[in-house]
């Protein structure tokens, strides 16, 4: 094995939390929460009043953090809120007015947080990651504690000097793999289905039972489908200066009224994906799949599979595990972060995961599952991230629908003919993805400084 084995949990990839951006919302909220816990653990003797907290946002967090709600996320974390439990209405109400104040305390010493506590740094900063946050606890004018965090995509964070803050540290998967080739080898050697291998690894990493894992997947699917249902109902304009009108309810009505039309299946799928994605843009609760920006693709596909194909619970659970396997491989060997890979890291990954899910749920071979994921990534290579105004709206919302349609076609293409004739492997295309992401100009990696973002004046 060339690389360390994958030790990510399915539930770190699929996380429940408020939109609109996992790297700009969920990650920063977790970083702020972590900093708060560390500050609370400091010796009381160091905490000389008055106390202050300053948060510096760099790179993509600074460039698009306003539109993505990074300031609200940081504030929420410092208030002790976490993404999966925070109340979306209270979350979206944070920092509504510039003079709003938020009192907190560290070991009974008061601190008042305001919008001014959060600084969107425009200066360059020598950081190993484009999504960097620096937290400082200042006591009587002296910096007592300083922590640097990187929001590395999909809501995952790392603290400077630490590998992965999740630190499932010493846990070892039952059937280690770091590439698709190794995964296929493990399946063959141990005569396992992909479902059983993924479950065994999840049990080893998290200590959960099979039943508990399935229950958690059911909860994830329910949250995804609630977002779809809400989005199909909610009309009106999305938050932000673009004043973008929601489209999912219109598409849904159109699909229902032309249900016998040859393309109605695609209109339904478009409606489902855009519904969840519009809920994300509104800052409501979604599931990272693998990111919040891409949180419409898999919910849309699974909603279609459940309601049109009438797939049962177990089939969907297994499809989610196949999707997770592909998400792990991309996260491990490239990245799922728009700030590192452009949109191919977000929608491209979601599309590949969905393509694998479709193939697996249809009972195809592992080689077809691999080919479906490979084809989906191949046709997202080089896709830039240039959201207008820094809002996860244009091109993001429609892009979720496009990612799902591409996933479906990737599954169809992979399912026809002999997979032995497939020239490009999933491992190869992930390597290409990584190299392309590295070569891509920074302007196209979630900074809103180029591409579509420059057409903002036309909106």
- The site for ligand SF4 (CB under 6 A) is made up of 293-294, 338, 343, 346-347, 385, 387, 392, 395-396, 399, 446
Decide whether 31 or 273 has the Cβ nearer to ligand SF4: 273
The tokens describing 290, both together, are 């693998």
241: helix, strand or coil = coil
Decide whether 5 or 239 has the Cβ nearer to ligand SF4: 239
Supply the minimum distance, in Å, between the C-beta of residue 433 and ligand SF4.
Answer: 13
Decide whether 427 or 446 has the Cβ nearer to ligand SF4: 446
Supply the minimum distance, in Å, between the C-beta of residue 307 and ligand SF4.
Answer: 25
Supply the minimum distance, in Å, between the C-beta of residue 397 and ligand SF4.
Answer: 8
Token look-up 């209109």 returns 267
d(CA 237, CA 45): 51
Bond into 127 cis (ω within 30) = no
The CA–CA distances, whole Å, from 451 to 23, 62, 241, 442 equal 21, 18, 18, 12
Decide whether 73 or 199 has the Cβ nearer to ligand SF4: 73
Write the CB contacts of 19 (distance below 8 Å, at least 6 apart in sequence): 25, 279, 280, 281, 282, 283, 284, 285, 286, 292, 295, 392
d(CA 426, CA 281): 31
Supply the minimum distance, in Å, between the C-beta of residue 384 and ligand SF4.
Answer: 7
Supply the minimum distance, in Å, between the C-beta of residue 441 and ligand SF4.
Answer: 14
Among positive and negative, which fits the CA dihedral 252, 257, 260, 263?
negative
Decide whether 331 or 399 has the Cβ nearer to ligand SF4: 399
Q: What is the dihedral of CA 366, 367, 373, 379, to 10 degrees?
A: -170
Residue closest to ligand SF4 (Cβ): 293
Decide whether 10 or 297 has the Cβ nearer to ligand SF4: 297
**DSSP H or E run through 218:** helix 210-233
Decide whether 106 or 248 has the Cβ nearer to ligand SF4: 248
Strands (DSSP E) contained in 254-302 are 285-287
Supply the minimum distance, in Å, between the C-beta of residue 203 and ligand SF4.
Answer: 32
Nearest to 25 by CA among 154, 119, 112, 146: 154
Decide whether 19 or 77 has the Cβ nearer to ligand SF4: 19
Token look-up 């629908």 returns 401
Q: Report phi then psi at 244, rounded to 5.
A: -75, 130
Supply the minimum distance, in Å, between the C-beta of residue 385 and ligand SF4.
Answer: 3
Supply the minimum distance, in Å, between the C-beta of residue 395 and ligand SF4.
Answer: 6
């Amino acid at each position: 094995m060339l690389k360390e084995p994958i030790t990510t949990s399915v539930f770190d990839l699929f996380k429940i939390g408020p939109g609109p951006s996992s790297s700009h919302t969920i990650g920063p909220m977790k970083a702020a929460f972590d900093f708060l816990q560390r500050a609370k653990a400091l010796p009381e003797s160091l905490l000389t009043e008055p106390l202050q907290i300053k948060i510096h946002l760099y790179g993509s967090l600074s460039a698009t953090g306003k539109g993505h709600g990074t300031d609200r996320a940081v504030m929420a974390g410092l208030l002790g809120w976490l993404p999966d439990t925070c109340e979306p209405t209270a979350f979206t109400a944070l920092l509504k007015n510039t003079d709003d104040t938020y009192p907190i305390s560290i070991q009974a010493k008061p601190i008042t947080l305001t919008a001014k506590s959060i600084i969107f740094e425009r200066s360059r900063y020598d950081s190993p990651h484009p999504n960097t946050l620096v937290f400082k606890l200042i006591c009587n004018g002296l910096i007592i504690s300083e922590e640097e965090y990187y929001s590395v995509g999909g809501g995952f964070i790392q603290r400077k000097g630490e590998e992965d803050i999740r630190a499932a540290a010493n846990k070892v998967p039952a059937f280690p793999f770091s590439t698709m080739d190794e995964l296929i080898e493990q399946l063959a050697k141990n005569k396992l289905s992909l479902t059983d291998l993924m479950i065994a690894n999840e049990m080893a990493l998290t200590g959960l039972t099979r039943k508990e894992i399935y229950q958690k997947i059911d909860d994830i699917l329910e949250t995804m489908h609630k977002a779809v249902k809400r989005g199909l109902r909610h009309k009106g304009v999305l938050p932000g200066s673009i004043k973008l009108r929601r489209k999912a309810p219109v598409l849904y009505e159109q699909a229902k009224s032309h249900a016998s039309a040859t393309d109605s299946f695609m209109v339904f799928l478009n409606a489902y994906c855009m519904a969840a994605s519009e809920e994300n843009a509104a800052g409501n609760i979604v599931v990272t799949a693998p990111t919040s920006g891409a949180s419409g693709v898999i919910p849309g596909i699974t909603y279609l599979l459940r309601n049109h194909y009438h797939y049962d619970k177990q089939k969907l659970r297994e499809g989610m595990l196949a999707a997770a396997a592909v998400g792990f491989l991309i996260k491990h060997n490239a990245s799922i972060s728009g700030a590192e890979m452009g949109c191919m890291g977000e929608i491209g990954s979601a599309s590949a995961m969905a393509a694998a899910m479709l193939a697996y749920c249809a009972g195809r071979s592992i080689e077809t599952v691999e080919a479906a994921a490979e084809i989906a990534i191949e046709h997202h290579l080089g896709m830039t991230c240039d959201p207008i105004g820094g809002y996860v709206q244009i091109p993001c919302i429609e892009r979720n629908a496009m990612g799902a349609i591409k996933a479906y076609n990737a599954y169809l293409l992979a399912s026809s003919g002999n997979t032995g004739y497939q020239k490009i492997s999933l491992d190869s295309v992930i390597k290409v993805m990584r190299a392309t992401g590295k070569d891509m100009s920074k302007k196209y990696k979630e900074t809103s400084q180029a591409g579509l973002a420059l057409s903002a004046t036309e909106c």
